[in-house]
Structure 1
Amino acid sequence: MVDRLPEGFIRTFLEENVKYSPAVIAVATGYFVASRLYRVYLGPTSVIPGNFIDNFFNLPLIYYNLPLGKRYKNFIDLHQKYGPVVRVSSQAISVADKHMIKQILHDDDLPKGRNYKAFQFEGHQTLFSTIDKDFHKTRRRVVSPAFSVKYLSALEMYMSAEVDVLNDHIRSAIKSAKQLGTEPAEVDMWQLLQRTALDVIGTTAFDQSFEMVKGGQHPLPKAISDDLSMSALRASTAGLPIISNIIDLYLKYQKSKQFDISKFMIKIIEERLKSGKRKNDILQILIDTQKAELKNDRLDNQDIVQENILFLIAGSETTSNTIGFAITHLIEYPEVLRLLREELDDLYPRDVKADMKHEDLKNLPYLNAVLNETMRLKPVAMGGLVRETPSNYLLGGKYHIPKNMLLSCAIYSCQVNPEYWPEPMAFKPERWLEDSDIPADKDAFFPFSVGSRNCIGKNFAWMEMRLILASFVYNFDIAPVPESIEGLNDLRQFVTYTIASNSYKVKVSER
């Protein structure tokens, strides 16, 4: 952050925004008030409940999202008060009904909302950020080979190597604690998991381990995190032009001081092309598109840069946070930890040395159940999956939604709805097992979204989550650190759902 805004920043803002006469401002204000009153009391969405102030202005949405990171909590409270369909701003409706969510995401496959444009780094569309369905269809077809099950199996060795680095780091901490007489060791698993996920993506995406677990200080992860935070700010203020202009000018100023991601990644691409050596990573798949017959199938160097940034973002913090939340639940529920460890010990007996293989782990029902239950209670998209109506739209057979309205699919509220989930707030992996007394409602479960915009990296994420969590539980005994338990009371979401302190320590010892 800066101590004060630079003089040029203020001058530019004034030049851009103070240029209308009082009469024009008065007319514009009158039109704004009249149009909002019509929408709230007489328009087609007036039958949808919601707070008046939320529907008249966008300010509550901005307030909860920017300084607090509590927009998701605001949405949860609104759904608890008003039901499965709620107006959350003058331009947005939140939907928590499983049938309507399926209609929006899958059956009608509505395009992503305009707020996703804020995630177009340096103006480039990507698989994640584009709102153009034709562009998405072409780009997904082109990059999908990098995420096929067959290709991912070739990347397992790289993932496993980074898991070994994580385990070695924890063992080193245990050894140090033993030497100092401070057993058991305390390690910050939240931080270690984030670092491991970054190393995994670096190695598998473009053959560049950041060595973050080993204590590396590579500037790229921080630069991308900063870019993502900036995009979240822009997305949150999209409905307020003046505030958005202030944010944009400030972010341009901040970005000028950052590590240049594009230059760094273009250098990697150019070095790969110059060497003429093929490597078994995601970058190679993208480079190979440059020889495609169809022009639209070719990714230039900037396209490759932006897609790799997407992979780094989508494949690091989202995955690491899910594993981290799983560990918090295992500590809270010792019986679940015991059952998971028992399943792993049956597969890999303690007296037989064997490397864990994803082919084995993917068939473990309880391991999968623990991860599914974690994603139900702690979904990455806690704030909702946003789509936009390209024309007047009939939702659920009864709600008439105007063109250009944002529909936010409230994944969390759906996944804890007592109509769909018995004992919805309880962490019960057994609901995912066959013949369960409280079976999971898989039609009310959207951890990787559904429809054409579902997560292309789903199989990648599953492999990484299984390998890391299984190895950690199999190799180490864990116990809570009271201060970290208290930290779980403060959760936030700006882009991904996380612990506000960005820390969760556990006591660890060798089994």
Structure 2
Amino acid sequence: MAAPIGLVASVSATAGVVSHLSYFIHGEHMLTAYKLVILALFGPPTAVALLTTVAGFSLSHATKLTSVSYGAYMTALFTSILIYRAFFHPLRHFSGPKLARLSQFYHFFHVRAKVDNYRHLDRLHEKYGEYVRVGPNLLSISDPDLIEVIFHPQSNFTKADCWFPFSPLCCRLLSWYDISNPLLNLVQLRDRSEHDRRRRHGWDLAFTTKALRSYDSRVIKYADQFVAQMQRRAGENVNITNWLEWYAFDVMVCSLESFIPLLAPEALSDLAFGRSFKALENGKSHIYIDTMHKTSVLPLGCLGTLPWVIQTIADLVPTRLNPFMTLVRYSDECIEERKQRTPTEPDIMTPILAAGPFYEDPKADALLLVGDARLIIIAGSDTSASTLIHCFYELGRDADVVRKIRDELQQHGIRNDETLSIPQLQYLGYLNAFINETLRMHPTNPGGLFRLTPQGGVKIGGHYLPGGVKVVNPHYSVLRSPKAFVSPNEFIPERWTTRPELILNKKAFCPFSQGRYACIGRNLALNELRAVISKSVLEFDINFAPGETGRALLEESRDIFTMSLAKLELRFTRRSK
């Protein structure tokens, strides 16, 4: 007997609303998103097949019945979602683009062309104020007073919790930190106790003062290689973006000793001799760097606020066709190879491997090591390179800044020879002020970090928000806030030394984050910056190449969580001794 079409439609529509209110509105569904996609695609034809073979319906009636049921269910489901997001969501009182409150795809369509996430957020803050609803369950906050509240060591804000059973927030509360699941690393460990335990499990020992001193010779070695390459190219136009990326990458490879034989069979044979990829020495990029940037533009640059899309693609695309998995496979190889040998000098992985397994499950532990390998490379090379390139942008733009750094070095008797050491550079006031101002004006993660409001809720901007609301602090906008800095769009290193009145809220400045999730490699990164900058200004006058304005670097670089930087051409002129 044929089922009444009207009854089927009513029941299906009711099921759509109920499934939203009882399931989709709660918790995170990123890790099961691919199953929902498969169900949505193959559920209807499966239903038609069952109705014809089991229930004995005709093909036309089964198709009609399924179409009505599926259409009613989906219509009711998404209508319920949209009505809730528009009129009942806890963020409904915050201003922002009307379409952004309905779908996170609004963000995607506005950043997909230029991959300029942080600039898009900054434009929205200029239009709507310090608190902007930029997604169904995403609030962007540029108020510098909230930085300490959200990132303080005792803050109850979290990277993400897996379940908020009493917080009906949205169709999908998704976590950026699960974006590469099941591959995780230190940064992606969301449970506080687990994160803290992992830091104690070798990571902290890799960045003690003693450990950093053991890396100094390698930092200096590659700084010397960089200077030597610039000496050979003195008077020529140099794409400094490439050279500083190679420097930062080579330092991390060397700091990891022979930990990363990633993408070429010949690198595996080099491993036996403990050599790096020599990108800086050869003046040639390595395929790992290129692959890393290419595989990050779409997922992290355009879809960073839609992690469930990335996870679904990763789950459905065959491994052999997924370029990201290429990096994973080679990271796995390098871990196994590194375990078999002891480097001549301790590297970052020495205390991590010495600490033994972190998880009882060997597979989970192996995945964590591979994830940590990628973290060390990306966090250690991409972020340092980004800051270095912007430092050299500021050096090329203003010869007076170069002179001030050089004068300070010379006043302390520091020369570009074998006597120069990292400890000599650590407490130079103007040099550190210059680096701080570069980090303020050009943050390495300009789009900010995601956090979730605590389970008990919190009051923000005069509004109470229940647990599970996602917030982001775009560092670019926060660090240029007139509430935190006088003349915020002007590059003034002296604000960190002789003109402290230009800083209104010093707590807003946290380029390495703060609290328990602060960057563990902060001091190593600063050592790299100090070494290259000092050696370069002692050896050269640095200027923009003819025709270079820096516009491409500032306007065409892409925000892929860290920065994928456009070309910057400089000219290095050797100084007479």
What TM-score, normalized by structure 2, do the two folds share?
0.76
- Superposition RMSD on alpha carbons, in Å? 3.0
Shift of 1:239: 6.3
* Residue number in structure 2 paired with 1:112: 159
In structure 1, which of residues 38, 47, 50 is the aligned counterpart of residue 84 of structure 2?
38
Shift of 1:166: 0.8
Q: 2:537 and 2:150 mapped to 1: Cα distance?
A: 38
2:280 paired with 1:213: yes
2:480–2:489 CA contact under 8 A, matched in 1: yes
Q: For 1:483-502, what aligned pairs fall within 5 Å after superposition?
A: 483=548, 485-488=550-553, 489-499=555-565, 502=566
**25-34 vs 327-336, greater mean Cα deviation:** 25-34
In structure 2, which of residues 460, 464, 481 is the aligned counterpart of residue 417 of structure 1?
481
1:480–1:506 CA contact under 8 A, matched in 2: yes
2:136 paired with 1:76: no
Shift of 1:401: 2.0
* Residue number in structure 1 paired with 2:438: 374
Shift of 1:137: 1.4
2:414–2:420 CA contact under 8 A, matched in 1: no
In structure 1, which of residues 126, 134, 141 is the aligned counterpart of residue 185 of structure 2?
126
2:293–2:564 CA contact under 8 A, matched in 1: no
Distance change (3 Å), C-alpha of 1:314 and 1:129:
same
- Structure 2 residue matching 1:44: 3-state secondary structure: coil
1:322–1:380 CA contact under 8 A, matched in 2: yes
* Residue number in structure 1 paired with 2:503: 439
Q: 2:365 and 2:91 mapped to 1: Cα distance?
A: 44
* Residue number in structure 1 paired with 2:272: none
1:163–1:468 CA contact under 8 A, matched in 2: yes
Shift of 1:508: 1.0
2:159–2:450 CA contact under 8 A, matched in 1: yes
- 1:64-119 CA distance string (max 9 Å, x none): 34342122111111111222111001120011122322212224242214433354
* Residue number in structure 2 paired with 1:181: none
1:431–1:440 CA contact under 8 A, matched in 2: no
State the AA in 2 paired with 1:123: P
Gaps of 5+ in 2: 1-35, 45-65, 161-173, 259-274
Shift of 1:232: 1.5
Q: 1:353 and 1:274 mapped to 2: Cα distance?
A: 37
**370-379 vs 277-286, greater mean Cα deviation:** 277-286
Q: 1:409 and 1:288 mapped to 2: Cα distance?
A: 37
Shift of 1:296: 9.6
2:114–2:556 CA contact under 8 A, matched in 1: no
Q: 1:461 and 1:473 mapped to 2: Cα distance?
A: 19
- Structure 2 residue matching 1:159: 3-state secondary structure: helix
Distance change (3 Å), C-alpha of 1:400 and 1:450:
same
* Residue number in structure 1 paired with 2:26: none
In structure 2, which of residues 82, 105, 129 is the aligned counterpart of residue 59 of structure 1?
105
Distance change (3 Å), C-alpha of 1:46 and 1:266:
closer
Distance change (3 Å), C-alpha of 1:189 and 1:507:
same
Distance change (3 Å), C-alpha of 1:233 and 1:193:
closer
Q: 1:339 and 1:310 mapped to 2: Cα distance?
A: 35
2:108 paired with 1:28: no
Q: 2:80 and 2:179 mapped to 1: Cα distance?
A: 32
* Residue number in structure 1 paired with 2:346: 280
Distance change (3 Å), C-alpha of 1:354 and 1:394:
same
Q: 2:534 and 2:367 mapped to 1: Cα distance?
A: 37
* Residue number in structure 1 paired with 2:237: 186
Q: 2:312 and 2:330 mapped to 1: Cα distance?
A: 29
* Residue number in structure 2 paired with 1:9: none
In structure 1, which of residues 442, 456, 461 is the aligned counterpart of residue 525 of structure 2?
461
Q: 2:421 and 2:364 mapped to 1: Cα distance?
A: 34
1:138–1:297 CA contact under 8 A, matched in 2: no
Shift of 1:167: 1.0
Distance change (3 Å), C-alpha of 1:127 and 1:304:
same
- Structure 2 residue matching 1:448: 3-state secondary structure: coil
1:290–1:299 CA contact under 8 A, matched in 2: no
Gaps of 5+ in 1: 1-11, 175-183
Q: 2:83 and 2:307 mapped to 1: Cα distance?
A: 17
State the AA in 1 paired with 2:155: D
Number of residue pairs the alignment of both structures matches: 484
2:447 paired with 1:401: no
- Structure 2 residue matching 1:232: 3-state secondary structure: helix
* Residue number in structure 2 paired with 1:426: 490
* Residue number in structure 1 paired with 2:225: 165
What TM-score, normalized by structure 1, do the two folds share?
0.86
2:536 paired with 1:476: no
Q: For 1:254-403, what aligned pairs fall within 5 Å after superposition?
A: 254-255=321-322, 260-275=326-341, 279-290=345-356, 300-348=365-413, 353-389=417-453, 391=455, 393-396=457-460, 398-403=462-467
Q: 2:75 and 2:363 mapped to 1: Cα distance?
A: 48
* Residue number in structure 1 paired with 2:50: none
Shift of 1:173: 1.8
In structure 2, which of residues 195, 209, 222 is the aligned counterpart of residue 136 of structure 1?
195
* Residue number in structure 1 paired with 2:212: 152
Distance change (3 Å), C-alpha of 1:348 and 1:503:
farther
- Structure 1 residue matching 2:536: 3-state secondary structure: helix
1:100–1:395 CA contact under 8 A, matched in 2: no
Q: 1:414 and 1:442 mapped to 2: Cα distance?
A: 12
- 1:458-501 CA distance string (max 9 Å, x none): 111111111111211221111212245332333321222343xx
